[in-house]
Structure 1
């Protein structure tokens, strides 16, 4: 599950929408809807207002703009980059970027967000990153995320990457135990679906799927590297936030996370 964002249109505010069927407005979280708390006596009115939101104007769900932010890991990666670059330079972004699938950027804060995005793109110095790389192609698959303690796959085994290399933690042990750690290793799929990992003088066999198994052919040799990065590495995230902010300035409405 990832993160999406939207900005409401102004059709209701400007009298261009179908008249609402009850008292509507923005709540304290920036959501447009029925202003009375739900209970059994007004459940039908809440339903009517929800239908009005979905069909009351030419915009789907009364949204002027809707954007896919992406996976949570990407959001956390951007937040980590802001903190490591100089968190004190990005107070608004760090305050309003989503922590869960709710929240908002108030319209009044949008100019500050845009100024901080300018600073990030043109003046911020980003720290190096730790990445897990396909040794044959140089493609990076996973980066070290502090908030996830480096873990990028969860299950009976947690797989992750960090300052000490790639690691596998067996969650079935009590307490959970690290069963493999290496900076450079090979993976091999065995008959029966087991995965063999070999590196730094260790070999383990695990009942788990290969790393980067979304590829037609998962990589065989992997290594942990430290790489430099720039704001250009976050161009998609920054571009999405800029479009949302532009929509907020155009409508005077907040940016909502969902």
Structure 2
């Protein structure tokens, strides 16, 4: 599964399409023309099926734009969209990028009302100039299966991140320091430590000077292959002009097409 987008052309509205014998039943929507049959025709299932089949065949080659799409772009797969959202969140989320946060697609349907276009462009222009420094908890080189595992959490610099919690324990990360709080008291704090899973819901944390126990852990993927792991931090800086260059260009193409046609960007 992935995310795509398009802007429809105006050929049907301007009468530039090839003839279609059921055109009186065609209605124009932001996403493009659709065949809407009256109830008496829709009840005849065989006829309705043939009419819809003929409509979709016509629509695909009705004008110079394939499937009546003036511009069509691949935004990315699920991982790519997830990375885009992560970058936005690390840089302030809705507070800094309100339109990007609210209008990026969550599914393969719908459209962005054109009233958002300029603010969407403004958020993109602001985003592409940014950089983020993040921390990630990873296996140390001498940890069992060290090449296999790393935390899915990317934690922005200088931000106190709550990794997980239950009624007794809270696990936090701040820059390159991991800590456990129990009933509001810090019982473990370290940048490089061992963790062992005992059965399913008991975890022992220790380094050279301290030891603590918790009933929760923030990422069980660490234990896919081994119940003992040695963890530390990795620091990395990402520049949005490199990380999001493709997505930026795609959205700019779609915004340009939307302005030229007067039609909204549709998600598919």
Give the shorter-chain TM-score range.
0.5 to 0.7
Per-residue deviation at 1:65? 1.7
Residue of 24, 27, 31 corresponding to 1:25: 27
SS state at 2:19 partner: coil
TM-score when scaled to structure 2? 0.59
Q: Deviations over 1:1-52 (max 9, x none)?
A: 211111212221222111343332343x634312458944444333232122
Instruction: Indicate conservation of the 8 Å contact 2:135/2:154, yes or no.
Output: no
Matched, 1:44 2:50: yes
Report SS of the residue matched to 1:236: helix
Please give the TM-score of this superposition, normalised by the length of structure 1.
0.61
**Would you say 1:80 and 2:86 are equivalent positions?**
yes
1:207 aligns with: none
1:140-167 Cα offsets, whole Å, 9 max, x none, are x985379xxx9xxxxxxxxxxx9679x9
* Structure 1 CA distance for aligned equivalents of residues 120 and 114 of structure 2: 10
Give deviations 1:108-147, integer Å, cap 9, x for gaps: 322221111112123x564525386997xxxxx985379x
Query: Does residue 116 of structure 1 match 2:123?
Result: yes
Question: Cα gap change, 1:84/1:25 in structure 2, threshold over 3 Å: closer, same or farther?
Answer: farther
Unaligned runs of 5+ in 1: 136-140, 151-161, 188-194, 201-221
Q: Contact 2:90–2:132 (CA<8 Å) still a contact in 1?
A: yes
Q: Which has the larger radius of gyration?
A: 2
Equivalent residues of 1:7, 1:247 under 8 A apart = yes
Q: Closer, same or farther in 2 for the Cα pair 1:10/1:70, shift >3 Å?
A: same
**Matched residue of 2:253: which SS?**
helix
- Aligned pair in 2 of structure 1 residues 180, 142: CA closer, same or farther (>3 Å)? closer
1:229-249 deviations in Å (ceiling 9; x for gaps): 222221111111111111111
Residues 193-248 of structure 1, C-alpha deviations (whole Å, 9 max, x = no match)? xx679742xxxxxxxxxxxxxxxxxxxxx986231222222111111111111111
Give the CA RMSD over aligned residues. 4.2
Task: Establish whether residue 237 from structure 1 lines up as the match of residue 247 from structure 2.
Answer: yes
Alignment match, 1:13? 13
User: Do the aligned partners of 1:6 and 1:63 also contact (CA within 8 Å) in 2?
Assistant: yes
CA distance in 1, matches of 2:265, 2:139: 35
- Structure 1 match to 2:257: 247
Distance in 1 of aligned mates of 2:111 and 2:36: 18
